[in-house]
Amino acid sequence: MRLRRTFIWLLSGLLGMGLAVSAQAQTGKVGYLDMQRLLDNAPQVVAARKQLESEFRARDQQLKQEEARLAALKEREAREAAILPKAAADALRREVGALDRSIQRTRKKSSDELKARADEEIARHWPAINDAIIAYAREQGYDVILRSPIPYANPRIDITEAVLERLRAKSDQKPAP
């Protein structure tokens, strides 16, 4: 009985070692991609971001002018509310409140539109980014590419910079529109 148990344990150990060696022999090449860094630094996305900034610059300037006007009205309200007739003070308060709400609505609308446009631009450039990732992975013999966020990735398997270099080269090859 004792010999039989020993034999079973020994056989189990050998089988376990065989499976472990087999699993090690089949280990694939794994890469990691920091998507945030890729999207922040991809030249196609950077160019689109600059275009969006110029597109929304006029709105931002108008919003800043409205905010300056609101600050002046609030200052006037604080300074003159006590000496103005009640009707005039109430009208000034309503004007301040209406302008404040208008600015908040405009800021929210502008922010939502900017986010939607940024998402559109990323979606427009995503096929080129994805193609660069896939081409690099195939050329370098990767079996799988993990993308962030993941809890931990050894910097040794980070391919983000290599993909960015590929995107930069592709961006340099395109003629300016």
Q: Which domain holds residue 122?
A: 28-173
Looking at residue 26, its pLDDT comes to 61
Q: Strands, DSSP E only, in 5-113?
A: 30-33
Per-residue tens of pLDDT for the chain, all 177 residues: 565 555 455 445 545 554 444 445 567 889 999 999 999 999 999 999 999 999 999 999 999 999 999 999 999 888 887 888 888 888 989 999 999 999 999 999 999 999 999 999 999 999 999 999 999 999 999 999 998 888 888 889 989 999 999 999 888 776 544
Residue 40 belongs to domain with CATH number: 3.30.910.20
Question: 66 lies in a domain?
Answer: yes
Question: 90 lies in a domain?
Answer: yes
Question: 80 lies in a domain?
Answer: yes
Q: Spell out the residues 6+ positions from residue 163 whose beta carbon is closer than 8 angstroms to its own.
A: 33, 38, 129, 132, 133, 136
Structural domains of the chain, count: 1
Q: How many CB atoms lie within 10 A of CB 36?
A: 11
Q: Give the whole-angstrom CA distance, residue 83 versus residue 128.
A: 65
Looking at residue 145, its pLDDT comes to 92
Looking at residue 37, its pLDDT comes to 92
Q: Is 19 exposed, middle or buried (0-12, 13-18, 19+ CB in 10 A)?
A: exposed
Looking at residue 11, its pLDDT comes to 45
Q: What region does 33 belong to: left with phi over 0, alpha with psi -120 to 50, or beta?
A: beta
Looking at residue 19, its pLDDT comes to 45
| SS3 call for 158 | strand
pTM for the whole thing?
0.66
Question: 41 lies in a domain?
Answer: yes
Looking at residue 67, its pLDDT comes to 94
Question: 18 lies in a domain?
Answer: no
Question: 14 lies in a domain?
Answer: no
Q: How far is CA 100 from CA 26, 82, 131, in A?
A: 64, 21, 47
Question: 3 lies in a domain?
Answer: no
Question: 105 lies in a domain?
Answer: yes
Q: Give the whole-angstrom CA distance, residue 31 versus residue 160.
A: 9
Looking at residue 118, its pLDDT comes to 92
